[in-house]
Each structure stands twice: as structure tokens, then as C-alpha cells.
């Protein structure tokens, strides 16, 4: 069994895999992570391997626990990926973006793919049908847009994502909801439409914490999968052990 671990900016997400099958999924705050993982090992003693992706600050205690209990792969730029990296500054490309691109290549072969990860930030990552990673975009995530409006103005309140009833906001709060949610939806639709102009056969995968909130409101055809990064870690692990 494999334990896939995604250390993000705010949470640690984990999943137990047997081959290609996702058996269990977990999510912890960073202060709960070590105790949570210890419990996973107690309830799933068959776990022999782990793969770790870190976006935020690495938890040394958690890494030592994984190393003690399993044969661990820490994803880094030195790992062999299933695509040709044509990013102009490859050393600055986020590990999470590389994992998502790898998952797209391995799960959707011989296709143009755009992975949209709607988390703290929105990342767009594109690989073409010849498995070239060309890059993408980074923009503020949904809650970050609310936070910015509150932090950098004198009177706007701190709000949390809510889909407004109408695209015309009839109060300050509703206007903020319209701006944040419709603004992000139009951004995503706009990016997809722009890519389709040059890459007609385009597979779009939407993932991340806000994927479910956004997916039902997007007009374009997409694959919404909030577990895509964890699944991509599993696919990358299988790819890695088969290409040693």
C-alpha cells in the first residue's frame, strides 16, 4: 500500500492507495498531522511506501515519521517526470504544479491538457499532446480575493465565498460576492476559451479546494476531481518505480 501526502499552504491532505485504487482519504491541520499519520499507520499497517509533495513549509517531524515507517519518495525537481519541461525557469516551478502536470500526462495520454487547481492561488498548467509542459498561469484564489478586498481597503468587510443570486450586486456585500465569484468564473472560462482557440482537442481538469464550488457554475466541459493531486502522486509513484 502507498500513502500519498500533499503538504499545502494551509492543510495536509493524504490518501491510501492499493495500486490505482484510492482506499481512504484524510485531511489534517498542520498541528494535527503527526498524530493523524501515526493513527493512519496503526489502522493501515500494510502501508509500505509513501510519496510526499510539499508546497508549504516541510514538517521535519512528519518526514522522519514517514521515513521510519515507509520507503519514502520526496518529490523534487530531480525526479524523473513523464513530460519534457519547457518552462523558462524550471527551478522555480512549484512541485505541486509538476505533480498535477504529471498526473494529467499519465491519466490522459496523447491529449492536450489544462489542469486548473483552485486552491489558495489558482494555478493553470498546460501540457500538449506531445507531452511538453509549456507553463500556464497563477492568480489569486477565491478566498484570497475576499481577503485582499478587506485588507487593502478602509471599509470593505471580510466575507467568505457565497454565490450571489444575481450578477448585479444590490448591496456592498453582494457586490463583493459578485466580483469575487463571477470574476473568477469569467477568468477560468476565459482561459479555457483562449486555450481552445489554439488547442481544439483540450482536456480540462479542475481540482483543488474550491473545485466543487466552481464546477457546477462553469459552462465549459471539464473533469472536476478534488482528489486529482493525490491521485497524481499515486500515478507518479507508479511511474517512478517502473522507470528506475
Q: Supply the residues annotated as catalytic.
A: 96
Length of the chain: 244
Interatomic CA distance for residues 94 and 87, integer angstroms: 11
Q: Are 131 and 105 in contact (CB under 8 A)?
A: yes
Distance of CA 115 to the CA centre of its chain: 9
In the chain, the largest separation of any two C-alpha atoms, in whole Å, equals 60
Interatomic CA distance for residues 34 and 206, integer angstroms: 29
Q: Is 61 exposed, middle or buried (0-12, 13-18, 19+ CB in 10 A)?
A: exposed
Interatomic CA distance for residues 216 and 171, integer angstroms: 25
The β-bridge partners of 14 are 5, 26
Strands of the sheet containing 21-29, edge to edge, are 21-29, 11-18, 2-7, 49-54, 71-74
SS3 category, 51: strand
Rounded to 5 degrees, φ, ψ at 100 are: -65, -40
Amino acid at each position: 500500500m502507498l500513502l500519498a501526502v500533499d503538504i499545502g499552504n494551509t492543510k495536509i491532505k493524504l490518501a491510501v492507495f492499493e495500486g490505482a485504487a484510492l482506499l481512504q482519504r484524510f485531511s489534517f491541520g498542520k498541528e494535527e498531522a503527526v498524530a493523524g499519520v501515526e493513527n493512519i499507520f496503526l489502522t493501515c499497517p500494510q502501508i509500505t511506501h509513501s510519496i510526499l509533495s510539499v508546497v508549504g513549509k516541510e514538517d521535519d517531524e512528519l518526514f522522519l515519521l514517514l521515513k521510519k515507517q515507509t520507503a519514502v519518495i520526496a518529490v523534487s525537481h530531480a525526479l524523473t517526470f513523464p513530460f519534457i519541461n519547457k518552462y523558462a525557469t524550471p527551478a522555480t516551478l512549484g512541485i505541486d504544479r509538476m505533480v498535477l502536470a504529471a498526473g494529467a500526462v499519465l491519466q490522459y495520454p496523447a491529449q492536450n491538457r489544462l489542469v486548473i487547481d483552485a486552491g489558495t492561488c489558482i494555478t493553470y498548467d498546460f501540457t500538449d499532446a506531445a507531452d511538453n509542459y509549456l507553463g500556464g498561469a497563477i492568480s489569486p484564489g477565491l478566498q484570497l480575493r475576499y481577503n485582499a478586498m478587506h485588507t487593502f481597503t478602509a471599509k470593505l468587510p471580510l466575507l467568505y465565498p457565497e454565490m450571489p443570486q444575481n450578477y448585479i450586486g444590490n448591496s456592498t456585500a453582494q457586490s463583493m460576492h459578485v466580483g469575487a465569484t463571477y470574476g473568477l468564473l469569467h477568468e477560468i472560462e476565459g482561459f479555457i476559451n483562449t486555450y481552445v482557440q489554439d488547442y481544439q482537442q483540450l482536456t480540462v481538469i479542475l481540482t483543488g479546494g474550491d473545485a466543487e464550488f466552481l464546477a457546477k457554475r462553469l459552462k465549459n466541459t471539464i473533469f472536476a476531481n478534488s482528489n486529482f493531486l493525490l491521485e497524481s502522486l499515486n500515478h507518479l509513484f507508479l511511474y517512478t518505480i517502473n522507470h528506475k
